[in-house]
Each structure stands twice: as structure tokens, then as C-alpha cells.
């Protein structure tokens, strides 16, 4: 810092403003948060499907994304179907909203849709994602659709088997 700059700082006078305008550049590593949500989906798949999931082709591809330094361009060359984005105004699955959780909720759901297993993730009202975790639901004949809701404020959770089909 120059002497001139130091004098300006030392002799600065307070300025009052009712509505000051602050400028801040915000950078978000979209690869990082998408990988984090894919990791959550993978962990839920393993939790609910068991060790058989280690042999699933899509599970192996998801592990590669989680453990290797993949860039977005390389993800697009893989046969993984996912959509991860900011929550915005509406949930992609509004029926997964619980009044007693309000904005403090994290939701994970694993659903059989046709012959696919898809995982829905919602983190607060910030992120949401749908990740195909298997292209062959017949590998898991005893699977029942699942949902977990976690209240991050009081650290409680509830798990459900979802009896209806999609």
C-alpha cells in the first residue's frame, strides 16, 4: 500500500447511506455441487439396494464421476441421465413437501419408473436433482419405492416405503 492510500484510509470519514448498494461477484462451481448431489443419490442407492448395486453399470459410472475429476464435457460422453439445478420456485416433485419440515428439509427418494430407478434429491430449497441410478430395475426384484425426509434443524428423519407405482 502506498503512503497516499494509507493516509486516505487513516483519514477516512464515515459515510451514512440508508440503502447502500454493494457489488459482489459470486462464483459457483456447478460441477462441484452436481457431483455432491450425485454422490448423495449413489449413497441412497447403495443404502436401499444393498451390495448388489456395486455390480450395476450405472452405479459404476456414478462412482467414476464421484471419485475422478470429471469435467462437464466428459460427463456428457457418459450414458448417465441426470438433471440437477437450483430449486427456484417449484419442486419437480411437489408431493414430497412436508408442512412440518418447511424450509429445513432434505428429501431423498428412490423410485421405479418403467424399468429405470431414479433418485430425486432436494437440499433445503436450494438444490434439486433427478439422477437415473439404474437402467435395469429388474436387477432389484424386491425393491419398493423409498423416501427419506430429514429435518436439518432438529436432526430428525423419517423413512417411508411408497406403495404406489409410477
C-alpha cell at 13: 470519514
- SS3 sequence, 3-61? HHHHHHHHCCCCCCCCCCCCCCCCCCCHHHHHHHHHHHHHHHHHHHHHHHHHHCHHHHH
**DSSP assignments along 85-131, one per residue:** EE--SS-SSGGG--TTTGGGEEEEEEEEETTEEEEEEEETTTEEEEE
* Full-model pTM: 0.73
The C-alpha atoms of residue 77 and residue 55 are separated, in whole angstroms, by 21
pLDDT (0 to 100) of residue 126: 81
Q: Write down the domain spans for the chain.
A: 28-161
pLDDT (0 to 100) of residue 146: 93
pLDDT (0 to 100) of residue 110: 93
Q: Is the distance from CB of 37 to CB of 121 less than 8 angstroms?
A: yes
Q: How many CB atoms lie within 10 A of CB 36?
A: 15
pLDDT digits (tens, 9 = 90+) for 126-150: 888 899 999 999 999 999 999 888 8
Q: Is the distance from CB of 45 to CB of 149 less than 8 angstroms?
A: no
Q: Which residues of the chain have pLDDT under 70?
A: 69-79, 87-103, 164-166
Amino acid at each position: 500500500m502506498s503512503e497516499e492510500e494509507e493516509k486516505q484510509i487513516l483519514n477516512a470519514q464515515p459515510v451514512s447511506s440508508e440503502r447502500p448498494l454493494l457489488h459482489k461477484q459470486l462464483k459457483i462451481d456447478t460441477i462441484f455441487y452436481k457431483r455432491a448431489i450425485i454422490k448423495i443419490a449413489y449413497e441412497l442407492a447403495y443404502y436401499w439396494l444393498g451390495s448388489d448395486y456395486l455390480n450395476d453399470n450405472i452405479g459404476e459410472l456414478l462412482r467414476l464421476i464421484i471419485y475422478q475429476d470429471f469435467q462437464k464435457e466428459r460427463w456428457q460422453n457418459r450414458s448417465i441421465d441426470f438433471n440437477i439445478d437450483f430449486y427456484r420456485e417449484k419442486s419437480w416433485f411437489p408431493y414430497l413437501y412436508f408442512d412440518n419440515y418447511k424450509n429445513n428439509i432434505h428429501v431423498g427418494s428412490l423410485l421405479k419408473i418403467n424399468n429405470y430407478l431414479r433418485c430425486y434429491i432436494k437440499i433445503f430449497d436450494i438444490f434439486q436433482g433427478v439422477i437415473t441410478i439404474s437402467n435395469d430395475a429388474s436387477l432389484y426384484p424386491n425393491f419398493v419405492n423409498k423416501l427419506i425426509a430429514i429435518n436439518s434443524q432438529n436432526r430428525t428423519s423419517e423413512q417411508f416405503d411408497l406403495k404406489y407405482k409410477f
